[in-house]
Amino acid sequence: MKIILQITIILLVLLLFSNTVCAYEKHEPIKLKDIHATAEDPYIIEGYEITNPTGDCLIIMNSEHIIIRQNYFHDCGTDENFQKQTDHYKEGYASLIGNSSNIVFENNELDNNFRGFMAYNTPNLKAKNNKIINTIQYSPLWCERCSDSEFSFNYLSDNGDPTHFWVPSDRSIGIWIKRSDNVEIHDNTGIKRK
C-alpha cells in the first residue's frame, strides 16, 4: 500500500509539473489593427507562447476592447544584428499598443525581451498582475498618453541591462507613465538585482 501511495504522489507531481510546462500554445507573433470589439464581446488573446528574436511579439494598433491575458512573451528583439539596426523606440517589444482604448493586459509573463511593454495614446488601459523580468534595453512597463488607466500588482525584476542601456548609468527598470491623467499605480514590485 505504501508503494502505491508513493507512486500515486509521484504521478500527481509529474502531472502538475507537465501542465505548468505546457501551459502555453506556441504561436507566431501577432499584429492586430482596427479591431473594434465591445465591452460585452471583447477580443481575447490568451494562452500563447510567443517569441521573435528579430522583431516584436505583439502589436495592437487602432483597436478597442481587447483582453491580453495569460501569455508568455520571451526573447523578442534579442538578435544582436537586429538590435544594431533597429530604430530608437520602434521595434523589439514584447508588447506594443498604440492609438487604442479599453485594453486589459493581465497575468502575462515577459522575459528576456529587448524592450518590454509600451502603450501610447491608449486611455482606459489596465495592466495588472504581470511578471516582467530581464528587459534588456528599456520600457519594462511604459505608457504615454494613457489617461484613466491602472497599473497594479505587477512584478518587475532585473530590467534595464546596463551593458545595453542607451544612457550610461541611467536605467528604466520599472513603471514609466508620461503625459497621462487620472492613473492609478498601486501594489507593484520593482527589484533591481543586477
Mean pLDDT per block of 10 residues along the chain (194 residues) reads 54 46 86 98 98 96 98 93 74 95 98 94 98 87 95 92 57 82 95 72
Element (H, E) at 142: strand 138-144
Q: Which amino acid is at 39?
A: A
Give the model's pLDDT for residue 157: 92
Place of cell 477580443: 43
Q: Which amino acid is at 121?
A: N
β-partners of residue 185 are: 151
- DSSP character for 71? -
- Domains defined for the chain, CATH in brackets: 26-191 (2.160.20.10)
Give the model's pLDDT for residue 19: 42
- Backbone CA torsion sign across 132, 144, 79, 44: positive
Cell, residue 71: 501569455
Give the model's pLDDT for residue 192: 77
Give the model's pLDDT for residue 25: 96
